[in-house]
Amino acid sequence: MAGFRLRLRALPFDNQVFNYHLDGDFFNQVEKTEVRSGSVDITLQVTRKTENTYILQMACKGWLVIPCDRCLDDMTLDIDTDYRLTVRHEGELLDDSRDGVLLVPETWNELDMTDLMRDTVLLTIPIVHCHPEGECDPEMMAHLEEHWTDIEPAADGASDEVEKPLDDDKPSDAIDPRWEALRKLKDNN
Protein backbone atom coordinates (compact mmCIF):
# COMPACT_ATOMS: atom_id res chain seq x y z
CA MET A 1 0.00 0.00 0.00
CA ALA A 2 3.01 2.26 -0.34
CA GLY A 3 1.08 4.41 -2.81
CA PHE A 4 -1.35 5.56 -0.15
CA ARG A 5 1.21 6.97 2.25
CA LEU A 6 1.10 10.68 2.79
CA ARG A 7 4.55 12.04 3.59
CA LEU A 8 3.41 14.57 6.17
CA ARG A 9 6.75 15.94 7.27
CA ALA A 10 7.85 16.51 3.71
CA LEU A 11 4.79 18.59 2.77
CA PRO A 12 5.24 22.28 1.96
CA PHE A 13 3.34 24.91 3.92
CA ASP A 14 0.53 25.33 1.43
CA ASN A 15 -2.06 23.31 -0.50
CA GLN A 16 -1.25 20.06 -2.16
CA VAL A 17 -3.68 17.92 -4.12
CA PHE A 18 -3.32 14.15 -4.43
CA ASN A 19 -5.44 11.86 -6.56
CA TYR A 20 -6.09 8.22 -5.84
CA HIS A 21 -8.11 5.56 -7.55
CA LEU A 22 -9.68 2.70 -5.60
CA ASP A 23 -11.01 -0.42 -7.31
CA GLY A 24 -13.21 -3.19 -5.92
CA ASP A 25 -10.22 -5.27 -4.76
CA PHE A 26 -8.98 -2.43 -2.59
CA PHE A 27 -12.01 -2.78 -0.32
CA ASN A 28 -11.46 -6.51 0.20
CA GLN A 29 -7.76 -6.47 0.94
CA VAL A 30 -7.85 -6.30 4.73
CA GLU A 31 -11.00 -8.33 5.17
CA LYS A 32 -13.74 -9.55 2.89
CA THR A 33 -16.49 -6.98 2.53
CA GLU A 34 -19.69 -7.13 0.52
CA VAL A 35 -18.11 -4.99 -2.19
CA ARG A 36 -18.11 -6.99 -5.43
CA SER A 37 -16.53 -4.39 -7.64
CA GLY A 38 -16.15 -0.68 -7.79
CA SER A 39 -14.37 2.39 -8.93
CA VAL A 40 -13.88 5.35 -6.64
CA ASP A 41 -11.77 8.39 -7.33
CA ILE A 42 -10.45 10.30 -4.37
CA THR A 43 -9.20 13.82 -4.47
CA LEU A 44 -7.28 14.65 -1.36
CA GLN A 45 -6.42 18.23 -0.64
CA VAL A 46 -3.89 18.70 2.11
CA THR A 47 -3.22 22.09 3.66
CA ARG A 48 -0.28 22.26 5.98
CA LYS A 49 -1.20 24.90 8.53
CA THR A 50 1.77 24.72 10.87
CA GLU A 51 4.80 22.59 11.52
CA ASN A 52 2.51 20.00 13.13
CA THR A 53 -0.98 20.58 11.77
CA TYR A 54 -2.53 19.51 8.49
CA ILE A 55 -6.08 19.89 7.18
CA LEU A 56 -7.16 17.00 4.99
CA GLN A 57 -10.16 17.33 2.71
CA MET A 58 -11.16 14.19 0.94
CA ALA A 59 -13.71 14.07 -1.88
CA CYS A 60 -14.76 10.57 -2.94
CA LYS A 61 -16.73 9.99 -6.13
CA GLY A 62 -17.58 6.82 -8.00
CA TRP A 63 -19.58 3.65 -7.51
CA LEU A 64 -19.58 0.30 -5.76
CA VAL A 65 -21.36 -2.90 -6.67
CA ILE A 66 -22.83 -4.61 -3.61
CA PRO A 67 -25.52 -7.29 -3.17
CA CYS A 68 -29.10 -6.15 -2.83
CA ASP A 69 -30.50 -7.14 0.58
CA ARG A 70 -33.77 -8.29 -0.99
CA CYS A 71 -32.86 -10.27 -4.13
CA LEU A 72 -29.09 -10.75 -3.53
CA ASP A 73 -28.37 -9.64 -7.05
CA ASP A 74 -25.81 -6.94 -7.82
CA MET A 75 -26.81 -3.36 -7.26
CA THR A 76 -24.80 -0.26 -7.96
CA LEU A 77 -24.39 2.32 -5.25
CA ASP A 78 -23.22 5.78 -6.23
CA ILE A 79 -20.51 7.17 -4.02
CA ASP A 80 -20.29 10.89 -3.52
CA THR A 81 -19.00 11.88 -0.13
CA ASP A 82 -16.62 14.34 1.49
CA TYR A 83 -14.59 14.04 4.63
CA ARG A 84 -12.60 16.68 6.46
CA LEU A 85 -10.00 15.79 9.03
CA THR A 86 -7.43 17.71 11.02
CA VAL A 87 -4.22 15.76 11.52
CA ARG A 88 -1.82 16.87 14.21
CA HIS A 89 1.50 15.56 15.44
CA GLU A 90 1.13 15.31 19.20
CA GLY A 91 2.57 13.01 21.84
CA GLU A 92 3.54 9.44 21.27
CA LEU A 93 0.30 7.63 20.58
CA LEU A 94 -2.15 7.51 17.73
CA ASP A 95 -5.46 8.94 18.95
CA ASP A 96 -8.57 8.91 16.77
CA SER A 97 -11.05 9.27 19.62
CA ARG A 98 -12.06 12.81 18.67
CA ASP A 99 -14.41 13.55 15.82
CA GLY A 100 -12.61 15.09 12.90
CA VAL A 101 -9.23 15.16 14.61
CA LEU A 102 -6.50 12.59 14.31
CA LEU A 103 -3.49 12.87 16.59
CA VAL A 104 -0.44 11.07 15.26
CA PRO A 105 2.83 10.46 17.12
CA GLU A 106 5.42 13.17 16.66
CA THR A 107 7.84 10.55 15.38
CA TRP A 108 5.66 9.65 12.40
CA ASN A 109 6.86 11.10 9.13
CA GLU A 110 4.09 9.49 7.11
CA LEU A 111 0.42 8.74 7.40
CA ASP A 112 -1.00 5.65 5.74
CA MET A 113 -4.26 6.79 4.15
CA THR A 114 -5.50 3.27 3.36
CA ASP A 115 -7.85 2.83 6.33
CA LEU A 116 -9.14 6.39 6.21
CA MET A 117 -10.03 6.09 2.55
CA ARG A 118 -11.58 2.65 2.89
CA ASP A 119 -13.66 3.54 5.95
CA THR A 120 -14.82 6.87 4.52
CA VAL A 121 -16.23 5.11 1.46
CA LEU A 122 -17.60 2.02 3.23
CA LEU A 123 -19.41 4.15 5.82
CA THR A 124 -21.59 5.58 3.08
CA ILE A 125 -23.18 2.16 2.42
CA PRO A 126 -26.64 2.28 4.02
CA ILE A 127 -27.31 -0.47 6.59
CA VAL A 128 -30.23 -1.66 4.47
CA HIS A 129 -29.64 -1.38 0.75
CA CYS A 130 -32.01 -2.63 -1.91
CA HIS A 131 -32.86 -2.00 -5.51
CA PRO A 132 -35.65 0.56 -5.87
CA GLU A 133 -39.07 -1.03 -5.29
CA GLY A 134 -40.01 -3.24 -8.24
CA GLU A 135 -36.51 -3.37 -9.71
CA CYS A 136 -35.26 -6.52 -8.02
CA ASP A 137 -34.32 -9.45 -10.22
CA PRO A 138 -37.75 -11.04 -10.86
CA GLU A 139 -36.32 -14.52 -11.50
CA MET A 140 -34.36 -14.40 -8.29
CA MET A 141 -37.36 -13.17 -6.34
CA ALA A 142 -39.48 -16.05 -7.70
CA HIS A 143 -36.77 -18.54 -6.73
CA LEU A 144 -36.45 -17.08 -3.28
CA GLU A 145 -40.16 -17.15 -2.68
CA GLU A 146 -40.32 -20.81 -3.74
CA HIS A 147 -37.46 -21.66 -1.44
CA TRP A 148 -38.84 -19.83 1.53
CA THR A 149 -42.07 -21.74 1.11
CA ASP A 150 -40.23 -25.06 0.70
CA ILE A 151 -38.07 -24.67 3.73
CA GLU A 152 -40.58 -23.04 6.02
CA PRO A 153 -41.20 -25.46 8.90
CA ALA A 154 -44.46 -27.33 8.41
CA ALA A 155 -46.61 -24.97 10.41
CA ASP A 156 -49.83 -26.54 9.12
CA GLY A 157 -48.93 -29.89 10.64
CA ALA A 158 -49.73 -31.60 7.35
CA SER A 159 -46.51 -33.54 7.29
CA ASP A 160 -45.97 -36.35 9.77
CA GLU A 161 -42.50 -37.10 8.60
CA VAL A 162 -39.70 -36.07 10.86
CA GLU A 163 -37.18 -34.33 8.68
CA LYS A 164 -33.54 -35.03 9.02
CA PRO A 165 -31.63 -31.91 9.88
CA LEU A 166 -30.16 -30.37 6.75
CA ASP A 167 -26.83 -29.64 8.28
CA ASP A 168 -25.65 -32.88 9.84
CA ASP A 169 -22.06 -32.11 9.08
CA LYS A 170 -22.09 -28.67 10.57
CA PRO A 171 -21.85 -27.47 14.14
CA SER A 172 -25.18 -27.15 15.89
CA ASP A 173 -24.96 -23.38 15.87
CA ALA A 174 -24.75 -23.27 12.08
CA ILE A 175 -26.56 -20.50 10.30
CA ASP A 176 -30.27 -20.65 9.81
CA PRO A 177 -30.75 -23.29 7.05
CA ARG A 178 -32.93 -20.89 5.13
CA TRP A 179 -30.02 -18.51 4.75
CA GLU A 180 -27.82 -21.41 3.82
CA ALA A 181 -30.29 -22.27 1.06
CA LEU A 182 -30.31 -18.73 -0.20
CA ARG A 183 -26.58 -18.69 -0.31
CA LYS A 184 -26.43 -21.95 -2.28
CA LEU A 185 -29.00 -20.63 -4.65
CA LYS A 186 -26.93 -17.52 -5.22
CA ASP A 187 -23.72 -19.52 -5.71
CA ASN A 188 -25.33 -21.74 -8.32
CA ASN A 189 -26.67 -18.83 -10.24
- For Zn ion, the binding residue among 88, 131, 147, 186 (CB under 5 A) is 131
Reported as half-sphere exposure (CB side, CA atoms, 13 A), residue 97 has a value of 3
Helix (H, G, I), strand (E, B) or coil at 31: coil
Window of 10-18, 80-88, 112-120, 130-138 that interacts with Zn ion by CB under 5 A: 130-138
Q: Is 122 in the site for Zn ion (CB under 5 A)?
A: no
- For Zn ion, the binding residue among 11, 68, 77, 181 (CB under 5 A) is 68
Window of 18-26, 36-44, 64-72, 83-91 that interacts with Zn ion by CB under 5 A: 64-72
Q: Is the CB of 60 or the CB of 75 nearer to Zn ion?
A: 75
**Cα–Cα nearest to 52, from 11, 96, 99:** 11
CB 62 to Zn ion: min, Å: 21
Distance (Å, rounded) from C-alpha 50 to C-alpha 16? 14
Window of 15-23, 25-33, 49-57, 128-136 that interacts with Zn ion by CB under 5 A: 128-136
Distance (Å, rounded) from C-alpha 17 to C-alpha 4? 13
17 has which bridge partners? 45
Q: Is 143 in the site for Zn ion (CB under 5 A)?
A: no
Contact 60, 41 (CB under 8 A): yes
Q: Is the CB of 70 or the CB of 89 nearer to Zn ion?
A: 70
Q: Is 136 in the site for Zn ion (CB under 5 A)?
A: yes
Helix (H) or strand (E) segment spanning residue 61: strand 53-67
Residues in the chain: 189
Q: Is the CB of 64 or the CB of 136 nearer to Zn ion?
A: 136
Per CB under 5 A, residues contacting Zn ion are 68, 70-71, 131, 136
